[in-house]
Amino acid sequence: MEHEVFAPQTVQADVYFFRMAFRNWNDKTAVNILKAQIPGLRPGVKLLIQDACMREPGTAPISEERVSRAIDMSLKTFFNTRERLVTEDISDILEDKLTSHAVSQDEATRWVLDIVDKPRWEELGLKTDAQVRWVDVAFGLQRVARDDDPSGQVNGIDIFHAIPLKAVASSREVWVNEHLSRWADFSLELLRFHAVDGAHYTMIGPEQVASFAQILIGALKARGI
């Protein structure tokens, strides 16, 4: 259900989830978004915030820190936001009705289990430990993308590319020619590029999955698979 984040919250829910909603806003605007949720709050209601906070300088791998700070600088340039640290105390910018509470993975898992669609959960055959593993896999894939240092060569590489994130490349052409093309160092044959529909987060979404599957099947057949 769509909702204007600056408008007073009118939807009654048990949990309001903000995923990467504050990183591109300054403190004043972010607080206004949170204050707008107050009309929908009642005892027991939770606001879950998944967002990006920087570690202290020099405490993260250089490859991870370089990318993260470059994104923060871009957001500062375009949206007048600012870099927020994991260790930062934000309690002084919140009103009495709003408090900040950092949660552990166990706490977050319990909250998810409280609000999950139980029939869907049973349909997927998930258990608590399996759900935690999936979270670790999803986070691990992001970490590998930042920190992995590939080596060696394989016979060939097929690359499927969609519209990239603006923070990474300004266009698909830049993404292919200046970034993805570097995989040529690890392939004995010329790289095979496959343009697919959609963007970074939607290339295998419901609207694009059928066309992606067709392109993937064609690439596999071309490889004799």
> Do 14 and 47 contact (CB within 8 A), yes or no?
no
Query: Has residue 112 been placed in a domain?
Result: yes
If phi > 0 it is left, if psi is from -120 to 50 it is alpha, else beta; for residue 93 that is: alpha
In terms of domains, do 114 and 65 share one? no
Domain that includes residue 130, residue range: 104-149
Q: Does 156 share its domain with 218?
A: yes
> Which distant-in-sequence residues (6+ apart) come within 8 Å of 161 by Cβ?
172, 175, 176, 180, 193, 194, 195, 196
- What is the reported pLDDT for 7? 86
Is residue 194 located within the same domain as residue 216?
yes
Q: Is there a single domain that holds both residue 24 and residue 70?
A: yes
Regarding whether 97 and 109 lie in a shared domain, the answer is no
Q: Is residue 214 part of a domain?
A: yes
pTM above 0.75, yes or no: no
187 shares its domain with 128: no
Q: 48 - beta bridge partners? A: 17
Give yes or no: residues 124 and 136 share one domain: yes
- Identify the residue with better confidence: 189 or 2: 189
Say if CB 16 and CB 47 are below 8 A apart. Answer: yes
Question: Is 202 found in the same domain as 181?
Answer: yes
Q: How far apart, in Å, do the first and last CA atoms of the chain sit?
A: 42
Is 10 a domain residue? Answer: no
Single out the residue in 35, 68, 102 at which a domain terminates: 102
pLDDT score, position 122 = 83
pLDDT digits (tens, 9 = 90+) for 116-173: 788 888 887 878 888 788 888 877 777 776 677 788 999 999 999 999 988 788 899 9
**Last residue in a domain, options 88, 117, 149:** 149
Domain total of the chain: 3
